[in-house]
Structure 1
């Protein structure tokens, strides 16, 4: 497994896949960055992520050679993400004997920049990714648009590969938090306990378009607390908190939008919430949306990437960057308990039909061992 810097869903997916493969008796080596190994507790990971040229260039060169040598000792090199694809493709090209190369795309390419210089750099990155995908024995995409991207860049074989959340089975079995537990959870985070809870679980990053969430809360007419669980860009968080501080209920009191930081008990937050919202500019099959649906929450998410295929008719799909429609959908659900219950039950029924992590791990074993990869 090859993975660069990761703190969220991609790293969690690799973690569950590695553990699942090892439980099935396979030998899995992980090449990653020091920060990623620490985040996911991979004590035996090879911390060989190449560095940029400069003062540490010699170490970068040593790491490249060690990755290449390691690639020559395995049957399959599986890269996750654009940068990892480059590292893996170069390593596989130089490795002897040559292992098979699998690339999994989890994110879209960044939007086209406005400046000529940046556009030129983006074009070079796109051509480099295409070079990697054309050399892969298999390319998978976490959503159908990523499969289409792989094909457009010249992948010889591309197919979708689900990225399931390991938390879904437990959430399917769990009930909503009891009133006293909910009160304790919210009060412990300094939130009001007498309002509905509109929940977002998200990194604080530009891709998540949290300014649209804050504007939606400003437009909402149903008294509620909009809580954001997650950390990330501190400067962006400070800006968002400044904007949110001016949004207070008519009767005064605490701000409507609260950023409560990363929490170890995300499942309890999902069980305490009334509506789940995600305003991202793009997502594949977001793990947290899977978890919200499994918890029986009505979801309001953007019509982007793999979210329409994930949610289908069991939730509200809204246009990217439109706070008015987000506010309207949240108000509709908060104002109609029956509709909220029906939508949440429909979401949970859809989640119950998804393949599990173990199902997908076995599917990956099949992919690794197919004739196409030359291993049977």
Structure 2
């Protein structure tokens, strides 16, 4: 039993925390829901400040939190709403850089500890890159503790002036996908999904993520040229939305590539279950949700050897250098013709996924940090 739960059990005032979430990626939103459920179960009082759409998608209230709608902007009204929400908090925990900036503004002049979890890295060029560095420095220095979801994020926080930066235990958020009761049902669902995507009688490759430059989709399209000569040519399906959509679509049509952009989907787990190979071509990732889902779903993964990916997947994926389209194409082609290697990757993926922190371990680490900072237990 944690210090916090025993504290609550003895009839003393429970610890009051505010979890601040900005726009929230799927990974950070699912993490906050899981963390909230664990904290509430251990007697902690939790208020989640997040946009209304995040509450609708993740149901923080359903796991016992009080949800306070706070838009993701840093305008004075949002900061003021956050300041009121944090007024009687013992500790504030912000998830993501922009949420952390708002929380630090709201806590200005107050002696309330701030914990910040850096789930991912932001991207900017030119003058915006300078502003981003300033924002990272401000957040790193305002936090009592920074929890980074990968070792390089911990290093980044330290480089930006964090006085205490640690590697976060982050559990895999289970996908919102009802498991078919029978194996036959699962196989039928898989065939149905493949048919809907147009991948009958041909291999299906799956990639998921926002259509932004750092995701590496331009390189993936370069690699797709190598598959045009294969018979049958595999179909690459990319799920996600973003500013690069029009550019990518023009290339797909103009170059006759076997690629489909299917937009933002809420059935990613089903799409992945239907795939032969998952592909992650990013220039940087922390704890990639796609990588975690692929290993859990026993889908062979080809990914770039960047950021937190190597420590996340271990030897359970084929890793290639970022930006190397021929290497990416070769790795995928090899897997398409090597069922034994695919089987080995599936088993390695199951073993690697079993080594990731559990939800209990994640909550326990966060509670130990809260205990340190509030000093009331």
Residue 42 of structure 1: how far off its partner (Å):
4.8
Q: Which of 212, 215, 219 is 2:222 aligned to?
A: 215
Q: Which of 82, 91, 109 is 1:76 aligned to?
A: 91
C-alpha offsets along residues 93-127 of structure 1, whole Å, 9 cap, x if unaligned?
Answer: 333xx32110111222425x34xxx1xx5334423
User: Taking structure 1 as reference, are residues 93 and 323 closer, same or farther at Cα in structure 2, changes over 3 Å only?
Assistant: same
Partner SS state of residue 364, structure 2: helix
Matched, 1:67 2:67: no
User: Taking structure 1 as reference, are residues 20 and 332 closer, same or farther at Cα in structure 2, changes over 3 Å only?
Assistant: same
Residue 45 of structure 1: how far off its partner (Å):
2.5
Partner SS state of residue 99, structure 2: helix
Name the CA distance, whole Å, in 2 between partners of 1:317 and 1:37.
Answer: 36
**Contact 2:280–2:290 (Cα < 8 Å) also in 1:** no
Residue 208 of structure 1: how far off its partner (Å):
1.3
User: Taking structure 1 as reference, are residues 37 and 178 closer, same or farther at Cα in structure 2, changes over 3 Å only?
Assistant: closer
Which residue of structure 1 lines up, in the alignment, with residue 40 of structure 2?
22
Name the CA distance, whole Å, in 2 between partners of 1:77 and 1:10.
Answer: 16
User: Taking structure 1 as reference, are residues 273 and 173 closer, same or farther at Cα in structure 2, changes over 3 Å only?
Assistant: same
Which residue of structure 2 lines up, in the alignment, with residue 55 of structure 1?
none
Q: Which of 99, 103, 106 is 2:119 aligned to?
A: 106
Which residue of structure 2 lines up, in the alignment, with residue 45 of structure 1?
67
Moved more, 205-214 or 283-292: 205-214
Residue 345 of structure 1: how far off its partner (Å):
1.3
Name the CA distance, whole Å, in 1 between partners of 2:177 and 2:60.
Answer: 24
Name the CA distance, whole Å, in 2 between partners of 1:122 and 1:176.
Answer: 51
User: Taking structure 1 as reference, are residues 166 and 131 closer, same or farther at Cα in structure 2, changes over 3 Å only?
Assistant: closer
Residue 176 of structure 1: how far off its partner (Å):
9.7
Matches within 5 A, 1:337-356: 337-356=339-358
**Contact 1:79–1:103 (Cα < 8 Å) also in 2:** yes
Q: Which of 178, 187, 204 is 2:195 aligned to?
A: 187
User: Taking structure 1 as reference, are residues 237 and 348 closer, same or farther at Cα in structure 2, changes over 3 Å only?
Assistant: same
User: Taking structure 1 as reference, are residues 123 and 240 closer, same or farther at Cα in structure 2, changes over 3 Å only?
Assistant: closer
What TM-score results when the alignment is normalised by the length of structure 1? 0.84
| Runs of 5+ consecutive residues of structure 1 not aligned to the other structure | 53-59, 249-254
Residue 50 of structure 1: how far off its partner (Å):
6.5
Matched, 1:10 2:28: yes
Moved more, 36-45 or 102-111: 36-45
Name the CA distance, whole Å, in 2 between partners of 1:369 and 1:135.
Answer: 19
Name the CA distance, whole Å, in 1 between partners of 2:192 and 2:143.
Answer: 51
Matched, 1:232 2:245: no
Count residues with an aligned counterpart. Answer: 351
Partner SS state of residue 227, structure 1: strand
CA RMSD of aligned residues (A): 2.7
Partner SS state of residue 45, structure 2: coil
Matches within 5 A, 1:249-288: 256-288=258-290
**Contact 2:177–2:270 (Cα < 8 Å) also in 1:** no
Name the CA distance, whole Å, in 1 between partners of 2:297 and 2:317.
Answer: 13
**Contact 2:170–2:357 (Cα < 8 Å) also in 1:** no
Partner SS state of residue 262, structure 2: strand
User: Taking structure 1 as reference, are residues 201 and 5 closer, same or farther at Cα in structure 2, changes over 3 Å only?
Assistant: same
Which residue of structure 1 lines up, in the alignment, with residue 15 of structure 2?
none
Name the CA distance, whole Å, in 2 between partners of 1:360 and 1:40.
Answer: 18
What TM-score results when the alignment is normalised by the length of structure 2? 0.84
User: Taking structure 1 as reference, are residues 41 and 304 closer, same or farther at Cα in structure 2, changes over 3 Å only?
Assistant: same
